[in-house]
Amino acid sequence: MNESMEPSQFRSPEDERLDALFRAYRSACEPRQVSANFMPQLWQKIERVQTARFSFQRIAKGFVTAAAGLSLALGVVGLLPSHQNAAFSSGSYIEALSAHTEALAAHSDSNEYIDFLHLDSPDDVEEI
């Protein structure tokens, strides 16, 4: 059967091959018969994907909540005064500067070297 609009006398062998290719494609891609369970199965697939997405969102929200709580706790701990900082914050800047100058003068007589810029432990501070 000639499906094209051209008369058969004007058709080339390539046109015939192309028509055969289109017929093979059409027969390979015919729609299948839909079963009675098509829609329920489709909804089951959709619900499975949505359930997986919902559980991932719930886990992600839990991690965000835990991170926010940890950040808040660390912020509160950082703002609380510590016992080491109490000695330094009780005096004024002038008092701390005069104590530092007195410590420099006291240690200038001895040959011991103290690096005042890099005091690492509380013992180093007590030496001053």
100-114 exposure pattern, b = at least 16 Cβ within 10 A, e = fewer: eeeeeeeeeeeeeee
| pLDDT for the residue 117 | 65
List the structure tokens of 89. Answer: 């914050």
Q: According to the model, what pLDDT value does residue 127 have?
A: 54
Please give the pLDDT value at position 37. 87
Looking at residue 110, the DSSP 8-state letter turns out to be: S
pLDDT at res. 115:
63
Contacts of 19 (CB under 8 A, 6+ apart): 3, 4
Question: Helix, strand or coil for residue 111?
Answer: coil
- For 33-92, what is each residue's pLDDT tens digit? 778 888 899 999 999 888 878 888 889 999 999 999 999 999 998 888 766 555 555 667
Whether the CB-CB separation of 44 and 29 falls below 8 Å is answered with: no
Q: What global pTM score does this model have?
A: 0.33
Predicted pLDDT at 99: 83
| pLDDT interval class at 4 (50, 70, 90) | low
